[in-house]
Structure 1
Amino acid sequence: MSLVVFPQKFGLYLRTSFFFISVMMLIMLLTSTGAFLITLAHGKYIEDCEISAIEVRKWLLYVHSFGEYFFVICELLGTIGKCIASWNTEIVLILWSAAKKKYKTDKDAPLNISRSYAYCRCAAASVLARVLIITYVYLKIAGFFEGDADSGFYYLMNVLINLYCLVYPWTIMLCHRKIKSQQTVADWLKRKQHETGQLGYRKDRRGVFIILASPQSFFNLLGLCNNYGYVIMLSAAEDILSQQHGKNKTTTEDTCMPEINTRECKPPTAEVLLSDNLPSLIVKLTFPFFMDRFPFGLRVAVVCLLQATSYFVVAFSVSIPMSLAGVVFVSLGGGLGEITFLGLSAHYQRIAIAGWSSGTGMAGLLGSFSYAFLTEPHMANLTPKVALLIQLFIPVLFAIAYFILLEKPESVYSPTLNPKSWIVPKGYDDFVVSKHRVPQRQLNPWERVQLIVPMLHLMIPLAFVYVGEYMINQGMTQQIVFDCSHGFNLSLHSQYRWYQVLYQFGVFVSRSSIKLVELPMWALYLLPILQLSNMLFFFFDALYWFVPHIGIIFALIVFEGLFGGSSYVNTFHKIHNKVEPDVREYCLSAASMGDSIGVNFAAGVSIPLHYWMCRQPSPR
């Protein structure tokens, strides 16, 4: 979370500007809301008009989207206004006025930390949500969405916008109650840093603003960037296997099937899964034994380079082996990144584990959805090659997040451009004092093996959860297909992509839940049973096709993701809490091999299972 605080006295002319912006914003909001209401009833009015319904709808969309874009701009400007004065620069509804009266301060009073903290905490999420929604609206204007899906998504998005206008003021009011300090921002930051060591602040050269940085936020971003490529490759598995001699699949293949009477026996996506996980497992089995001699910065640079190479190789591949070689690069980078950042979390409070887990879950959701959106014929309708090249901004963001944004404690060795500094001196951190980390014990190979044994009661259940999880994803979902009337008019390729999106949605929700619900030990033993039961259900449905509609499969896949994400985040949370502090960095890195073993076992079994299912008679 980043909080930008400006000096309180920023000029009367600026306050006046924000006031007029607020009035204009209110007018635009009312205009866009009115356009939405007219759109709801446009069918009735358009019947008596000579112009076509689609022309009226496009005009209304232009009006509405312009109002929403203006709203976003004003909200960003309003962030400055809220931090420099008591003016409420965003007037949404009467509820917002109530919030203003409840938390009003004098113009010359010290900056109210509760107000600025609460506002900035919500502003980032709200602005991002609005930009996504408005971008969606413009894509619809461009003709990416048609038919019933167009109307349904349009109404849904506008309902969400207007619900946000109702809920947002009370969200701010609830956040205000969490911090009741009336001190200045600088005093509060110093006190917070002194008490917890979790938060730090910096001033720029002019002393204009202060940045409040939480490790959880940055570990969230690092987890997202690290796992993003892995998810993209799994989402693109069918497209990768469809590439022959440099030609990607054509969009004409992406039409729904009116009837399905035979099994679709394509190359199993488990081949991509194996290429996406076996190199990662090799890294996790070997690197923890010597990786501590290489600085974190060098490892992150290698990870970013491997990810960028992977996107290029897969995008420009001319054969399946070349594509799988590109997948191997992202697997090596993902495995190295996971053990690197799980080890790095030992230098911070345990909240970093929650941030990392949530970020990896977010990577699954955003990665699978972005690829499905970019390649879906009814949406962006791009080729897989273009969709993969668009993702190249992720390695760049990854490098920026670690090398520029993340505040690193003194216990983290920082190399220079001199190659001689690329090896961590032995006993480097013996003399470094850190509130959240003690000097790490020097371990010989036998001691490293012995430390794994006490963690097996946590690693084995995690491995079984991932066996069931990826047996479903890459071993069975290819055989669970639906025709147009029972599959939301989705093509077979699209069905597979949206399976991945919904699975990753479940993973994201559960991996972000550790701050709300921490599972007891018995629940970690129950999750493998639930996941394997889920796998058996999918196995029999892949054989006999007894599920009547794809919506049921969608719901079960969400639960599959919930089980897997809960097992992952709670396992590493317990390891972080239970292991000795002087071996925590190694234990967190080594424990990551548990899920990799499960995934690779599932990939190895899924390939022959897929070909066996192909030989079975069609149940229809």
Structure 2
Amino acid sequence: MPEEQNSLLHPDEDDMPETAQPEKGAPAPTLHSQRHQKLVCTYPAQRRMLLKLGCSFFLFGLINNVLYVIILSAALDLVPPATPKGIIAFCNIAPALVAKVGWPYVLKGRIRYTRRLVGCCALSAFGMLVVAFFDTLFMRLLGIGLASFSSGLGELTFLQLSTTYSPPSVAGHSVGYFSSGTGAAGLVGAFLWWEVRGLGVRVGVGLSSVMPLIIPLTYFFLLPQPADFLGTEDHASTTPYTPLATGDEDLAGEEEGSIRAPAKHAVYLTASDKWRLVRPMLFRYMLPLFCVYLFEYTINQGIAPTLLYPVPPTSSFLSKIIHSIRDYYPLWQLVYQTTVFLSRSSISIGIPPLPARLLSLPAMIQFGIFLTLAFESALGIFPADADEAWSIVLVFLLISLEGICGGSAYVNVFYRINQDPPSPETAHDAERTRQEREFKIGSVGFADSSGILFASLFAVPMEVALCRQQVSRGKLLCKGL
């Protein structure tokens, strides 16, 4: 790898800005010198760097998640008609869950971001090529699994990468734009497959295998260095900058390829260290995120397919959108994906984050939406009229609120984790503090994936039970799909 590219996120001391380089053995910067550093970084320069950082993380979120959406959108075309489509959803999430549990909890030491991201890019492209060029069910499921594993590991890695930026406001900026990119992936992925599906699975999926190449290009040529943000307004209140390490298990104390790097003591988090960090996050962050996604995906996969109504009359405005009962489910998914994108973009467009004490609120609202839509599907509790327009409008509003709750929970949980102060007992150790921040944000990722996985298991019997209940009260629309 060229030296300039390798130093992008692993700056050597000679490459760092002069104002950020105290001489070895020099005293800590005074208040006057800190103010001087802030003046060196002009406001236009800060804005340009923040724009590049935001664009980079937006692209990371978009490209990392868009293949997941393309696979789900192409499910009908990827498996034989007699094969349950739920197997696609399972293979599209289970490997990602394995990656999110395995990497932060099992591996220890420093993170090699360059190796990880290049590996994720190669694995995603290879998985999509397997899906494209093999016709057997086993090989296609294998390709989906490879792409899913890469997506899960990529999401984990980008969230951990955001913690390497200081001050916390810059780290939060990264998370906000990454979240916005993951929300945009739902709309972009569905639109892309709609456009290329006419070319067939081989060409359509094969073309999508090129998209992961955007990640390393962004990483090497657009993403700013963490050192570029030294000396910004609130940097004085954060831990000192430590050059990013290059190895997951490089405990010898030197950065790879750097002769002049100072020796560091061996640091890695033990199992007891990780449990100490995870325990306070179980109820504060993980449980709300798990519940939101459990209810959200059970609604999407188990209840939404049964929210069917007669086709509106031609005199109705709804008739311009809904032409047959098969149009209802794609409509609900479009509404959901749009509101998820808007809510995941809330922080990046300037909406204040939720207070920490209200992080469980989206899960509570989501549970209410889940119960309401389940009762509407089973019993028809919404006002009935000739064309059931009010029922359609109420379902539209509830699914919009569902998407807002899901996107809001995601972006606010990861934003709040990124703002957590370091542990008092380890705040003096910059290397341990950095590893703890990376582990904390990475350890929470399995909560949303496990919620989706459990929802995929609950959704199939729920859809069958709701359809059976509708038939028992004389509503036969679900049998006509």
What is the rounded CA distance, in whole Å, between the counterparts of 2:221 and 2:199 in structure 1?
33
Does 2:378 match 1:543?
Answer: yes
The aligned residue for residue 277 of structure 2 is: 451
Does 2:189 match 1:362?
Answer: no
Q: CA deviation at 1:194?
A: 6.7
Instruction: Kindly provide the amino acid, as one letter, of the partner of residue 518 in structure 1.
Output: P
Residue 501 of structure 1 is aligned with which of 334, 339, 342?
334
Residue 513 of structure 1 is aligned with which of 346, 358, 383?
346
- Please show how residues 88-487 of structure 1 align to structure 2 within 5 Å: 191=39, 193=41, 214-241=52-79, 243=80, 269-288=85-104, 289-290=106-107, 292-348=109-165, 349-350=170-171, 351-375=173-197, 383=200, 385-409=202-226, 411-413=243-245, 424=250, 426-428=252-254, 442-456=268-282, 457-485=284-312
Is the CA contact 2:252–2:266 (under 8 Å) kept in the aligned structure 1? no
Deviates more, 1:591-600 or 1:313-322: 313-322
The aligned residue for residue 567 of structure 1 is: 409
What is the rounded CA distance, in whole Å, between the counterparts of 1:302 and 1:394 in structure 2?
14
1:552–1:451 CA distance, 2 compared to 1 (3 A): same
1:427–1:455 CA distance, 2 compared to 1 (3 A): farther
Q: CA deviation at 1:460?
A: 0.6
Instruction: Kindly provide the amino acid, as one letter, of the partner of residue 235 in structure 1.
Output: S
SS at match of 1:566: helix
1:218–1:234 CA distance, 2 compared to 1 (3 A): same
SS at match of 2:135: coil
What is the rounded CA distance, in whole Å, between the counterparts of 2:393 and 2:203 in structure 1?
30
CA RMSD of aligned residues (A): 3.4
Q: CA deviation at 1:532?
A: 1.1
What is the rounded CA distance, in whole Å, between the counterparts of 1:270 and 1:537 in structure 2?
24
Q: CA deviation at 1:316?
A: 4.0
Q: Deviations over 1:238-258 (max 9, x none)?
A: 4434x35xxxxxxxxxxxxxx
Normalised TM-score (structure 2): 0.70
Is the CA contact 2:109–2:249 (under 8 Å) kept in the aligned structure 1? no
1:504–1:347 CA distance, 2 compared to 1 (3 A): same
Q: CA deviation at 1:560?
A: 1.1
What is the rounded CA distance, in whole Å, between the counterparts of 1:546 and 1:314 in structure 2?
43
Does 2:450 match 1:602?
Answer: no
1:309–1:473 CA distance, 2 compared to 1 (3 A): farther
SS at match of 1:517: coil
Q: CA deviation at 1:616?
A: 4.2
What is the rounded CA distance, in whole Å, between the counterparts of 1:555 and 1:593 in structure 2?
29
Instruction: Kindly provide the amino acid, as one letter, of the partner of residue 567 in structure 1.
Output: A
Greater RCO structure (CA 8 Å; 6+ sep):
2
What is the rounded CA distance, in whole Å, between the counterparts of 1:498 and 1:366 in structure 2?
16
Instruction: Kindly provide the amino acid, as one letter, of the partner of residue 93 in structure 2.
Output: N
Q: CA deviation at 1:285?
A: 1.2
1:501–1:398 CA distance, 2 compared to 1 (3 A): farther
SS at match of 1:331: helix
Q: CA deviation at 1:518?
A: 1.3
What is the rounded CA distance, in whole Å, between the counterparts of 1:382 and 1:551 in structure 2?
35
Q: CA deviation at 1:470?
A: 0.5
What is the rounded CA distance, in whole Å, between the counterparts of 2:416 and 2:266 in structure 1?
19
- Please show how residues 11-90 of structure 1 align to structure 2 within 5 Å: none
Instruction: Kindly provide the amino acid, as one letter, of the partner of residue 223 in structure 2.
Output: L
What is the rounded CA distance, in whole Å, between the counterparts of 2:254 and 2:46 in structure 1?
23
Q: CA deviation at 1:483?
A: 4.8
Instruction: Kindly provide the amino acid, as one letter, of the partner of residue 479 in structure 1.
Output: T
Q: CA deviation at 1:346?
A: 0.9
Instruction: Kindly provide the amino acid, as one letter, of the partner of residue 461 in structure 2.
Output: P
Instruction: Kindly provide the amino acid, as one letter, of the partner of residue 477 in structure 1.
Output: A
Q: Deviations over 1:568-603 (max 9, x none)?
A: 111111111114143111111111122112111211
Q: CA deviation at 1:272?
A: 2.4
1:493–1:610 CA distance, 2 compared to 1 (3 A): same
What is the rounded CA distance, in whole Å, between the counterparts of 1:474 and 1:518 in structure 2?
29
Does 2:417 match 1:591?
Answer: no
Is the CA contact 2:65–2:151 (under 8 Å) kept in the aligned structure 1? yes
What is the rounded CA distance, in whole Å, between the counterparts of 1:451 and 1:229 in structure 2?
32
Normalised TM-score (structure 1): 0.56
SS at match of 1:347: coil
Query: Radius of gyration: which is bigger?
Result: 1
Deviates more, 1:349-358 or 1:267-276: 267-276
Q: Deviations over 1:316-375 (max 9, x none)?
A: 453444433332122101110011111111111221111111111111222223334555
1:491–1:272 CA distance, 2 compared to 1 (3 A): farther
Percent identity of the aligned residues?
32
1:365–1:291 CA distance, 2 compared to 1 (3 A): farther
Q: CA deviation at 1:465?
A: 0.5
What is the rounded CA distance, in whole Å, between the counterparts of 1:300 and 1:598 in structure 2?
25
Is the CA contact 1:240–1:323 (under 8 Å) kept in the aligned structure 2? yes
Instruction: Kindly provide the amino acid, as one letter, of the partner of residue 369 in structure 1.
Output: F
What is the rounded CA distance, in whole Å, between the counterparts of 1:198 and 1:440 in structure 2?
35
What is the rounded CA distance, in whole Å, between the counterparts of 1:404 and 1:423 in structure 2?
27
What is the rounded CA distance, in whole Å, between the counterparts of 2:265 and 2:410 in structure 1?
27
The aligned residue for residue 68 of structure 1 is: none
Is the CA contact 2:186–2:337 (under 8 Å) kept in the aligned structure 1? yes
What is the rounded CA distance, in whole Å, between the counterparts of 1:292 and 1:236 in structure 2?
39
SS at match of 2:289: helix
1:422–1:284 CA distance, 2 compared to 1 (3 A): closer
What is the rounded CA distance, in whole Å, between the counterparts of 2:281 and 2:159 in structure 1?
15
What is the rounded CA distance, in whole Å, between the counterparts of 2:196 and 2:455 in structure 1?
28
SS at match of 2:359: helix
What is the rounded CA distance, in whole Å, between the counterparts of 1:470 and 1:545 in structure 2?
21
Q: How many residues align?
A: 383
What is the rounded CA distance, in whole Å, between the counterparts of 1:428 and 1:604 in structure 2?
47
Q: Deviations over 1:9-48 (max 9, x none)?
A: xxxxxxxxxxxxxxxxxxxxxxxxxxxxxxxxxxxxxxxx
Q: Deviations over 1:461-493 (max 9, x none)?
A: 111011111001112222233454377344566
Does 2:381 match 1:528?
Answer: no
